[in-house]
A = this chain, B = another copy of it.
Amino acid sequence: MRRASNGPTLKGLAAIMGISPSAVSMALNGRPGVSDELRERVRAVAAEHGYLPNFAARALRVERSNMLGLISRNLSNPGYLRLIDGFSGAAEEHGYQILIGTSDLDSSREASMIRAMTNRQLDGLAIAPIEGEAALATWRAESDRPVVLVNSARSTKSSSVMSIRGDASQAVRLAVDHLVGLGHRRIGLVTNPGLSSASERVSLFRRMMRAAGLRSRVISGGSAGETVKLTVRALSRDDRPTAVITDSDLLAHHVYDAAAEAGLRIPHDLSVVGHDDLPTSHLLGPALTTIAVDRFEIGRQAATMLIAALNGDEIERPHRELPVELKVRQSTAQPAE
Protein backbone atom coordinates (compact mmCIF):
# COMPACT_ATOMS: atom_id res chain seq x y z
CA MET A 1 0.00 0.00 0.00
CA ARG A 2 0.93 3.55 -0.54
CA ARG A 3 1.77 5.35 2.60
CA ALA A 4 0.00 8.59 3.35
CA SER A 5 2.81 9.96 5.39
CA ASN A 6 6.31 8.71 4.87
CA GLY A 7 7.62 10.84 7.71
CA PRO A 8 9.07 9.45 10.90
CA THR A 9 6.87 8.07 13.61
CA LEU A 10 7.05 8.84 17.27
CA LYS A 11 8.59 5.45 17.83
CA GLY A 12 11.14 6.21 15.15
CA LEU A 13 12.14 9.46 16.83
CA ALA A 14 12.58 7.55 20.07
CA ALA A 15 14.88 5.06 18.38
CA ILE A 16 16.92 7.85 16.81
CA MET A 17 17.39 9.55 20.17
CA GLY A 18 17.87 6.35 22.08
CA ILE A 19 15.01 7.00 24.48
CA SER A 20 11.60 5.47 25.00
CA PRO A 21 8.54 6.34 22.91
CA SER A 22 6.71 7.36 26.06
CA ALA A 23 9.31 9.99 26.79
CA VAL A 24 8.92 11.41 23.31
CA SER A 25 5.17 11.42 23.65
CA MET A 26 5.29 13.20 26.99
CA ALA A 27 7.79 15.73 25.71
CA LEU A 28 5.83 16.54 22.58
CA ASN A 29 2.55 16.87 24.42
CA GLY A 30 4.03 19.09 27.09
CA ARG A 31 3.15 16.70 29.88
CA PRO A 32 5.09 16.43 33.11
CA GLY A 33 7.44 13.52 33.51
CA VAL A 34 10.36 14.69 31.43
CA SER A 35 13.04 17.25 32.12
CA ASP A 36 12.89 20.60 30.40
CA GLU A 37 16.20 19.84 28.82
CA LEU A 38 14.96 16.62 27.21
CA ARG A 39 11.72 18.26 26.15
CA GLU A 40 13.67 20.83 24.21
CA ARG A 41 15.91 18.25 22.60
CA VAL A 42 12.95 16.12 21.56
CA ARG A 43 11.19 19.10 20.06
CA ALA A 44 14.29 20.02 18.13
CA VAL A 45 14.72 16.53 16.74
CA ALA A 46 11.03 16.29 15.89
CA ALA A 47 11.14 19.56 14.01
CA GLU A 48 14.34 18.56 12.25
CA HIS A 49 12.82 15.34 10.97
CA GLY A 50 9.52 16.95 10.15
CA TYR A 51 7.62 14.70 12.49
CA LEU A 52 3.86 14.88 12.27
CA PRO A 53 1.69 12.84 14.60
CA ASN A 54 -0.57 10.22 13.08
CA PHE A 55 -4.05 11.35 13.87
CA ALA A 56 -5.67 8.00 13.29
CA ALA A 57 -3.46 6.39 15.90
CA ARG A 58 -4.05 9.17 18.34
CA ALA A 59 -7.77 9.11 17.74
CA LEU A 60 -7.84 5.39 18.34
CA ARG A 61 -5.97 5.75 21.58
CA VAL A 62 -7.50 8.83 23.14
CA GLU A 63 -10.92 8.65 21.50
CA ARG A 64 -10.59 12.17 20.24
CA SER A 65 -10.27 12.95 16.59
CA ASN A 66 -9.77 16.69 16.69
CA MET A 67 -12.45 16.96 14.10
CA LEU A 68 -15.72 18.82 14.27
CA GLY A 69 -18.68 18.05 12.07
CA LEU A 70 -20.96 20.48 10.38
CA ILE A 71 -24.17 19.24 8.85
CA SER A 72 -26.19 21.73 6.94
CA ARG A 73 -29.53 21.45 5.29
CA ASN A 74 -28.25 22.11 1.84
CA LEU A 75 -25.36 23.67 0.12
CA SER A 76 -27.15 25.68 -2.52
CA ASN A 77 -27.93 28.63 -0.28
CA PRO A 78 -24.97 31.01 -0.41
CA GLY A 79 -25.66 32.00 3.17
CA TYR A 80 -24.26 28.70 4.30
CA LEU A 81 -20.93 29.56 2.82
CA ARG A 82 -20.46 32.31 5.36
CA LEU A 83 -21.49 29.92 8.09
CA ILE A 84 -18.99 27.30 6.97
CA ASP A 85 -16.37 29.97 6.64
CA GLY A 86 -16.82 31.18 10.20
CA PHE A 87 -17.04 27.67 11.55
CA SER A 88 -13.98 26.40 9.79
CA GLY A 89 -11.95 29.48 10.62
CA ALA A 90 -12.56 29.16 14.33
CA ALA A 91 -12.04 25.41 14.23
CA GLU A 92 -8.73 25.66 12.45
CA GLU A 93 -7.54 28.26 14.89
CA HIS A 94 -7.88 25.68 17.64
CA GLY A 95 -6.33 22.87 15.65
CA TYR A 96 -9.58 21.22 14.67
CA GLN A 97 -10.41 20.09 11.21
CA ILE A 98 -13.95 20.11 9.95
CA LEU A 99 -16.01 17.47 8.29
CA ILE A 100 -18.87 18.71 6.19
CA GLY A 101 -22.05 16.96 5.33
CA THR A 102 -25.24 18.00 3.74
CA SER A 103 -28.60 16.53 4.41
CA ASP A 104 -30.07 17.84 1.16
CA LEU A 105 -33.23 18.56 3.07
CA ASP A 106 -33.84 14.85 3.46
CA SER A 107 -34.26 13.81 7.06
CA SER A 108 -33.30 10.17 6.55
CA ARG A 109 -30.12 11.31 4.84
CA GLU A 110 -29.61 13.64 7.76
CA ALA A 111 -29.78 10.74 10.17
CA SER A 112 -27.39 8.60 8.17
CA MET A 113 -24.96 11.52 7.86
CA ILE A 114 -24.99 11.88 11.59
CA ARG A 115 -24.33 8.20 12.14
CA ALA A 116 -21.52 8.26 9.60
CA MET A 117 -19.99 11.12 11.51
CA THR A 118 -20.35 9.42 14.86
CA ASN A 119 -18.19 6.48 14.06
CA ARG A 120 -15.56 8.71 12.62
CA GLN A 121 -14.99 9.72 16.21
CA LEU A 122 -16.08 13.28 15.74
CA ASP A 123 -15.51 15.37 18.82
CA GLY A 124 -18.47 17.63 18.35
CA LEU A 125 -21.17 18.44 15.89
CA ALA A 126 -22.98 21.47 14.65
CA ILE A 127 -26.27 20.73 12.94
CA ALA A 128 -28.60 22.94 11.05
CA PRO A 129 -31.28 20.31 11.44
CA ILE A 130 -34.29 19.70 9.31
CA GLU A 131 -36.10 18.27 12.27
CA GLY A 132 -34.58 19.53 15.44
CA GLU A 133 -35.53 16.73 17.76
CA ALA A 134 -34.86 13.87 15.39
CA ALA A 135 -31.36 15.01 14.48
CA LEU A 136 -30.51 15.45 18.08
CA ALA A 137 -31.82 12.06 19.07
CA THR A 138 -29.76 10.33 16.40
CA TRP A 139 -26.61 11.95 17.59
CA ARG A 140 -27.18 11.39 21.25
CA ALA A 141 -28.08 7.76 20.74
CA GLU A 142 -24.56 7.18 19.50
CA SER A 143 -22.53 9.66 21.42
CA ASP A 144 -22.39 11.88 24.44
CA ARG A 145 -20.38 14.59 22.83
CA PRO A 146 -21.37 18.23 22.53
CA VAL A 147 -23.81 19.38 19.87
CA VAL A 148 -24.84 22.80 18.85
CA LEU A 149 -28.04 23.41 16.95
CA VAL A 150 -27.69 26.11 14.34
CA ASN A 151 -30.54 28.24 13.06
CA SER A 152 -32.95 25.84 14.59
CA ALA A 153 -36.23 26.74 16.20
CA ARG A 154 -35.94 26.77 19.95
CA SER A 155 -36.80 23.39 21.29
CA THR A 156 -34.84 21.70 24.00
CA LYS A 157 -33.60 23.98 26.68
CA SER A 158 -31.53 21.18 28.09
CA SER A 159 -28.05 22.14 29.15
CA SER A 160 -26.41 19.28 27.29
CA VAL A 161 -27.40 20.78 23.98
CA MET A 162 -26.36 24.20 22.88
CA SER A 163 -27.89 26.36 20.21
CA ILE A 164 -27.23 29.50 18.28
CA ARG A 165 -29.20 31.46 15.73
CA GLY A 166 -30.32 34.88 14.71
CA ASP A 167 -33.05 36.41 16.81
CA ALA A 168 -36.11 35.19 14.95
CA SER A 169 -38.67 37.26 16.75
CA GLN A 170 -36.65 40.43 16.35
CA ALA A 171 -36.34 39.65 12.63
CA VAL A 172 -40.06 39.32 12.12
CA ARG A 173 -40.77 42.36 14.26
CA LEU A 174 -38.33 44.56 12.33
CA ALA A 175 -39.81 43.50 9.01
CA VAL A 176 -43.42 43.95 10.08
CA ASP A 177 -42.77 47.27 11.80
CA HIS A 178 -40.95 48.57 8.75
CA LEU A 179 -43.77 47.66 6.38
CA VAL A 180 -46.54 48.81 8.69
CA GLY A 181 -44.62 52.03 9.22
CA LEU A 182 -44.65 52.58 5.45
CA GLY A 183 -48.41 52.22 5.48
CA HIS A 184 -48.88 48.64 4.31
CA ARG A 185 -51.98 46.85 5.54
CA ARG A 186 -52.04 43.69 3.45
CA ILE A 187 -48.79 41.93 4.21
CA GLY A 188 -47.93 38.36 3.24
CA LEU A 189 -45.33 35.95 4.53
CA VAL A 190 -43.70 33.76 1.91
CA THR A 191 -42.07 30.86 3.64
CA ASN A 192 -40.03 27.84 2.72
CA PRO A 193 -41.80 24.64 3.47
CA GLY A 194 -40.50 21.78 5.52
CA LEU A 195 -38.18 23.52 7.91
CA SER A 196 -38.73 23.41 11.61
CA SER A 197 -37.99 27.11 11.75
CA ALA A 198 -40.74 27.88 9.26
CA SER A 199 -43.64 27.14 11.57
CA GLU A 200 -42.08 29.25 14.29
CA ARG A 201 -41.69 32.08 11.85
CA VAL A 202 -45.30 31.76 10.83
CA SER A 203 -46.57 31.98 14.39
CA LEU A 204 -44.32 34.92 15.17
CA PHE A 205 -45.61 36.66 12.07
CA ARG A 206 -49.20 35.98 13.05
CA ARG A 207 -48.61 37.36 16.52
CA MET A 208 -46.93 40.54 15.25
CA MET A 209 -49.66 41.14 12.73
CA ARG A 210 -52.36 40.60 15.30
CA ALA A 211 -50.60 43.06 17.56
CA ALA A 212 -50.73 45.56 14.71
CA GLY A 213 -54.40 44.80 14.21
CA LEU A 214 -53.87 43.31 10.76
CA ARG A 215 -54.88 40.09 9.13
CA SER A 216 -51.97 37.86 8.20
CA ARG A 217 -51.56 35.96 4.97
CA VAL A 218 -49.15 33.08 4.71
CA ILE A 219 -47.98 31.69 1.40
CA SER A 220 -46.29 28.33 1.69
CA GLY A 221 -46.35 25.36 -0.66
CA GLY A 222 -45.17 21.81 -0.38
CA SER A 223 -41.97 22.61 -2.25
CA ALA A 224 -39.99 25.70 -3.19
CA GLY A 225 -41.32 25.60 -6.75
CA GLU A 226 -44.86 25.26 -5.57
CA THR A 227 -44.40 28.17 -3.20
CA VAL A 228 -43.45 30.35 -6.14
CA LYS A 229 -46.54 29.29 -8.05
CA LEU A 230 -48.72 30.06 -5.08
CA THR A 231 -47.05 33.44 -4.84
CA VAL A 232 -47.86 34.26 -8.45
CA ARG A 233 -51.46 33.32 -7.83
CA ALA A 234 -51.66 35.35 -4.62
CA LEU A 235 -50.22 38.36 -6.41
CA SER A 236 -52.80 38.13 -9.16
CA ARG A 237 -55.77 38.33 -6.85
CA ASP A 238 -57.70 41.50 -6.28
CA ASP A 239 -56.87 41.78 -2.62
CA ARG A 240 -53.26 40.89 -3.27
CA PRO A 241 -50.76 41.80 -0.61
CA THR A 242 -48.98 45.09 -1.16
CA ALA A 243 -45.93 43.75 0.60
CA VAL A 244 -44.38 40.39 1.35
CA ILE A 245 -41.81 39.19 3.81
CA THR A 246 -39.76 36.17 2.74
CA ASP A 247 -37.87 33.53 4.62
CA SER A 248 -34.69 34.08 2.67
CA ASP A 249 -33.14 36.33 0.07
CA LEU A 250 -33.21 33.42 -2.33
CA LEU A 251 -36.92 33.18 -1.91
CA ALA A 252 -37.11 36.94 -2.34
CA HIS A 253 -35.38 36.50 -5.68
CA HIS A 254 -38.11 34.10 -6.66
CA VAL A 255 -40.68 36.63 -5.58
CA TYR A 256 -39.01 39.11 -7.95
CA ASP A 257 -39.58 36.59 -10.71
CA ALA A 258 -43.14 35.98 -9.58
CA ALA A 259 -43.82 39.74 -9.49
CA ALA A 260 -42.49 40.14 -13.01
CA GLU A 261 -44.73 37.31 -14.13
CA ALA A 262 -47.74 38.93 -12.48
CA GLY A 263 -46.84 42.24 -14.10
CA LEU A 264 -46.07 44.00 -10.84
CA ARG A 265 -43.23 46.44 -10.34
CA ILE A 266 -41.13 46.46 -7.21
CA PRO A 267 -41.40 48.52 -5.05
CA HIS A 268 -44.20 50.50 -6.72
CA ASP A 269 -46.76 47.69 -6.75
CA LEU A 270 -45.14 45.35 -4.29
CA SER A 271 -42.70 45.79 -1.43
CA VAL A 272 -40.39 42.89 -0.64
CA VAL A 273 -38.37 42.21 2.48
CA GLY A 274 -35.79 39.40 2.39
CA HIS A 275 -33.86 37.60 5.03
CA ASP A 276 -30.11 36.90 4.96
CA ASP A 277 -28.49 39.79 3.14
CA LEU A 278 -26.62 37.76 0.57
CA PRO A 279 -23.60 39.54 -0.89
CA THR A 280 -25.47 40.03 -4.13
CA SER A 281 -28.74 41.24 -2.69
CA HIS A 282 -27.86 44.90 -2.80
CA LEU A 283 -27.09 44.55 -6.49
CA LEU A 284 -30.50 43.30 -7.42
CA GLY A 285 -32.73 45.50 -9.49
CA PRO A 286 -34.08 46.98 -7.26
CA ALA A 287 -31.73 46.48 -4.33
CA LEU A 288 -33.36 44.22 -1.78
CA THR A 289 -34.44 45.41 1.65
CA THR A 290 -33.54 42.56 3.93
CA ILE A 291 -32.84 41.32 7.42
CA ALA A 292 -29.12 40.81 7.87
CA VAL A 293 -27.92 38.11 10.17
CA ASP A 294 -24.23 37.58 10.65
CA ARG A 295 -23.87 33.98 9.55
CA PHE A 296 -20.12 34.12 9.74
CA GLU A 297 -20.38 35.00 13.40
CA ILE A 298 -22.94 32.26 13.97
CA GLY A 299 -20.55 29.74 12.46
CA ARG A 300 -17.66 31.09 14.47
CA GLN A 301 -19.52 30.95 17.75
CA ALA A 302 -20.90 27.50 17.00
CA ALA A 303 -17.34 26.23 16.69
CA THR A 304 -16.01 28.02 19.75
CA MET A 305 -18.92 26.78 21.85
CA LEU A 306 -18.15 23.21 20.85
CA ILE A 307 -14.48 23.62 21.56
CA ALA A 308 -15.15 25.21 24.93
CA ALA A 309 -17.42 22.31 25.81
CA LEU A 310 -14.73 19.86 24.76
CA ASN A 311 -12.24 21.61 26.99
CA GLY A 312 -14.67 21.23 29.84
CA ASP A 313 -15.10 24.96 30.15
CA GLU A 314 -18.30 26.46 31.39
CA ILE A 315 -20.37 27.81 28.49
CA GLU A 316 -21.56 31.26 29.39
CA ARG A 317 -24.74 31.37 27.32
CA PRO A 318 -25.50 27.96 25.88
CA HIS A 319 -28.52 29.22 23.96
CA ARG A 320 -27.62 32.29 21.98
CA GLU A 321 -29.64 34.56 19.79
CA LEU A 322 -27.61 37.01 17.80
CA PRO A 323 -29.13 40.41 17.04
CA VAL A 324 -30.33 40.94 13.49
CA GLU A 325 -30.42 44.12 11.50
CA LEU A 326 -32.85 45.54 8.98
CA LYS A 327 -31.12 46.86 5.87
CA VAL A 328 -33.50 49.23 4.16
CA ARG A 329 -32.88 49.44 0.44
CA GLN A 330 -34.98 49.97 -2.67
CA SER A 331 -37.39 47.06 -2.66
CA THR A 332 -39.70 48.59 -0.09
CA ALA A 333 -41.75 51.75 -0.41
CA GLN A 334 -45.14 53.14 0.54
CA PRO A 335 -48.03 51.27 -1.03
CA ALA A 336 -49.29 52.83 -4.26
CA GLU A 337 -52.95 52.92 -3.46
Q: Which positions in A face B, CB cutoff 8 Å?
A: 1-7, 52-57, 59-60, 62-65, 67, 75-76, 78, 80-82, 84-85, 88-89, 92, 97-102, 113, 115-123, 142-145, 250, 253, 256, 278-281, 283-286
Contact = CB atoms under 8 A, between A and B. Distances in A.
Given A54-B60, A76-B85, A97 B116 contact: yes
B4 A122 contact: yes
Nearest to A74: B85
A78 B279 CA distance: 9
Contacts of A143: 3-6
Q: How many copies of this chain?
A: 2
A92 B120 CA distance: 14
A84 B92 CA distance: 18
A269 B237 CA distance: 40
Contacts of A285: 283-286
B75 A81 contact: yes
Contacts of A120: 55-56, 97
Contacts of A62: 1
A119 B286 contact: no
B84 A100 contact: yes
7 contacts: A3-B143, A4-B122, A76-B279, A78-B279, A84-B100, A88-B102, A280-B281
